[in-house]
Amino acid sequence: MNIALIAGEGILPIEIAKKLNTVQDKTLIFTLRDDPEKLEPYAAKLIKMRTPNLGRGLKELKTFGADKLIMAGRIPKKIIYCLPLLFDSLSRSVLKKSLRDDHSLLGAVVKVFESENIQVIPYWQILPEFIASAGKLTSREPDESEFADINYGVKVLRVTLPCSFGQAVCVAGGAVVAVEAMEGTDMMIKRAGTLAGRGVVVKMMREDQDLRYDLPTVGTITLENMHQSGLTCLAVESSRTLILEPEKFFALAEKYNIAVWGL
């Protein structure tokens, strides 16, 4: 087994890199992060890129002998709009042919790797202990009004998700306060705090999202932002959501009295 990693932003790629170190002797890591030094302890070879470069990526994978690949972490969407002229020719070709929603772009990138016999594998297989279970996940379960807002949020997401936006929504008192767009869940939570200062967050995944590389995640930053924004309940899909640093996550949820529910 020789698994390489494309590491975006956030904690998830670091957790995966740590785990890979326990199951294989060497790991090739590509990253666009501003803090690549956080990945250096876990990489036999760390390739820092300023912009996406699929051509170089394929060459490095073959040289390293990697036949499997994990893609994890956030890639800022502004890169796609601000810097496409700096991409290599293969990356520009993929961008030109693909729709610019996350689902289409990631799918197009995966096809490039698979065409070269490099298998893209699910990162949840590396971190199965991070998968959310169903039902009450904290000592406090949602109260009646929070359950009502959760149910309404689910109805809203079932409409927005097929349109490739709205992976998360904030609902307060039966009203939609904010819907996630390109800015991501954390910025949506902060916006909801300025608008209402209360409510619940519901986070789900699109039915045709690829479980290999596009699983929704929540973590301690999610809870910190909810607490600062006055939001008291988080609902996520069981078996389809990663909870990062679960011990720290649940300890913080208890500290802030935030109810966490697995749909």
| CATH code where residue 41 lies | 3.40.50.20
Are 106 and 161 part of one and the same domain? Answer: no
pTM to 2 decimal places: 0.83
Average pLDDT over residues 110-114: 89
DSSP 183: T
Q: Are residues 38 and 62 in the same domain?
A: yes
**DSSP assigned state of 100:** S
* CA atoms lying within 13 Å on the CB side of residue 206: 17
pLDDT for residue 102: 58
- CATH (domain of 222): 3.40.140.80
121 and 132 belong to one structural domain: no
Q: What per-residue confidence (pLDDT) applies to 208?
A: 79
Question: In total, how many domains does the chain have?
Answer: 2
The mean per-residue pLDDT over the stretch 176-200 comes to 95
In the beta sheet, which residues pair with residue 119? 68
Domain that holds residue 213: 128-262
Shared domain for 149 and 241, answered yes or no, is yes
Is it the case that residue 1 has pLDDT exceeding 70? Answer: no
43 CA to centre of own chain: 21
pLDDT at 165: 85
**By C-alpha distance, which of 83, 77, 84 is closest to 100?**
77
Domain end call among 103, 125, 147: 125
Summarised one tens digit per residue, pLDDT across range 59-110 is 999 999 999 999 998 876 666 555 555 576 777 777 666 655 555 677 788 8
